[in-house]
Structures are given as structure tokens and as C-alpha cells.
């Protein structure tokens, strides 16, 4: 079993999970499939790491640093209304630390890696690649925010994400993408773009059909 075959299997799994998850949410049992989100995110992140070209000590430190930045930003938001605005997490994202699901910190790692690798693949200038990566991160957030309360992920005060949220996303993404682009050398593209597209189509599909 070579690496290319492993990657094909990994890509098949994420498409299977996202498409079956969308069908389950829309036509079978929304509450049940929404509660399975932690499993989907765990599998997606595991496969992302498995398909990285390198994951040695330096790369592990980068993963932990991006995770920490995401968690700190979210904790400040949930508890003090800073960075993103005032919001609270629901119960469908698993174990929490100071009101923030640990999976959210992991999600910051996943999104940074996939958006950063896609932008780096097409744009070699690191600073411009960071800007484009931020745009990709915002695209995911914009498609996710409208459905987050419905799936009991999180909900903002007033039920609508404020402009502060998107500014906060851009700022936090700037920090995580800077670390990724300048200090993570072995970037992977094929699995990353498939995971990005699977997530994007999942969110867009639920926005239009849910």
C-alpha cells in the first residue's frame, strides 16, 4: 500500500463522511447527525495529519501553538466578548475548556493547514499567500455561521454573527497563517483542497436545503 493509495482512501473517507452527514442532517435525524460532528472532525483532522509530508517535533510544536492561539481567542470571546463578539457554545462539539470545546482549537489547526496549503500551492509569495489564506478562512466562516445555531454548535447574542466576528476571524487567521506559512515547511495540497471543498459544500448544502 503506497502513499498515493493511502491518500485516495483518505480523500474517499472525508467525502463519504461529509456527504452522508449532509444527507443524514437533511433527511434522517438532524439531532443525531449533528451530535456526531466531533467524530467527523476528529476523523478529518486525523487524516489531515496522517497525510502531512512531515510531522516531526517542529511541526508538532506548530500544531500546538496554532491550537493554543485558537483556544485563547475563543476563550476571550466566550467569556469576555472580545475578538469575535459575545457568543456561547452549544453541546454538539464535545468537551469544553472554560466554555470552549477543545475541538474548536483543533478546528483552528485544521482550517489553518488546509487554507494555508491551498493558498501556498498557488501563490509562492508568503505575505500574499497569508492574505489569500485569510480569505479562504473567511469563506468557511461565512458559510458556517448561519447554520451554527441550528446545529447547536454556537450562537451569538442576538442570534446573528456581528461584523466583529469576521474581523476577529481575519485577525486570528493572520496570526495562525503567519506561523504556518513561515515555519511549517512541508505543506500538503491534495488532501487539503479535498477537505476544504468537502466542508464548503457541506455548509453550503445545509444552508440551501436545511
Percent of the chain residues topping a pLDDT of 90: 90
What distances in angstroms separate CA 149 from CA 68, 82, 146, 159, 202, one per listed residue?
Answer: 24, 20, 7, 8, 16
> Is residue 123 classed as helix, strand or coil in its secondary structure?
coil
Render the burial of 56-68: b for 16+ CB within 10 Å, e for the rest. eeebeebbebbbe
* Domain containing residue 89: 3-209
Please write the tens of the pLDDT for every residue from 137-162. 999 999 999 999 999 999 998 889 99
Name the maximum alpha-carbon separation found in the chain. 52
Q: pTM of the entire structure?
A: 0.94
Please write the tens of the pLDDT for every residue from 117-135. 999 999 999 999 999 999 9
Poorest-pLDDT segment among 28-32, 157-161, 194-198: 157-161
| Residue 66 contacts residue 176 (beta carbons within 8 Å) | yes
Going by C-alpha positions, the residue among 12, 1, 22, 9 that lies closest to residue 199 is 22
pLDDT for res 4: 81
pLDDT for res 89: 97
| Residue 99 contacts residue 166 (beta carbons within 8 Å) | no
How many domains, in total, are found in the chain? 1
Please write the tens of the pLDDT for every residue from 66-115. 999 999 999 999 999 999 999 999 999 999 999 999 999 999 999 999 99
Amino acid at each position: 500500500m503506497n502513499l498515493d493509495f493511502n491518500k485516495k482512501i483518505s480523500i474517499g473517507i472525508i467525502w463519504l463522511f461529509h456527504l452522508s452527514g449532509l444527507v443524514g442532517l437533511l433527511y434522517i435525524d438532524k439531532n443525531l447527525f449533528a451530535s456526531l460532528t466531533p467524530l467527523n472532525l476528529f476523523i478529518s483532522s486525523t487524516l489531515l495529519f496522517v497525510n502531512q509530508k512531515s510531522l516531526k517535533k517542529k511541526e508538532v510544536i506548530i500544531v500546538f501553538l496554532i491550537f493554543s492561539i485558537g483556544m485563547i481567542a475563543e476563550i476571550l470571546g466566550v467569556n469576555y466578548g472580545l475578538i469575535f463578539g459575545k457568543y456561547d457554545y452549544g453541546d454538539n462539539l464535545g468537551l469544553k475548556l472554560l466554555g470552549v470545546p477543545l475541538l474548536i482549537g483543533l478546528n483552528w489547526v485544521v482550517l489553518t493547514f488546509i487554507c494555508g496549503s491551498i493558498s501556498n500551492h498557488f501563490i509562492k509569495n508568503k505575505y500574499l499567500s497569508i492574505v489569500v489564506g485569510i480569505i479562504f478562512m473567511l469563506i468557511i466562516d461565512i458559510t458556517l455561521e448561519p447554520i451554527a445555531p441550528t446545529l447547536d454548535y454556537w450562537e451569538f447574542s442576538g442570534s446573528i454573527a456581528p461584523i466583529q466576528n469576521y474581523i476577529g476571524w481575519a485577525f486570528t487567521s493572520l496570526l495562525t497563517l503567519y506561523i504556518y506559512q513561515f515555519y511549517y515547511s512541508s505543506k500538503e495540497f491534495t488532501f487539503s483542497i479535498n477537505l476544504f471543498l468537502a466542508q464548503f459544500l457541506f455548509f453550503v448544502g445545509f444552508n440551501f436545503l436545511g
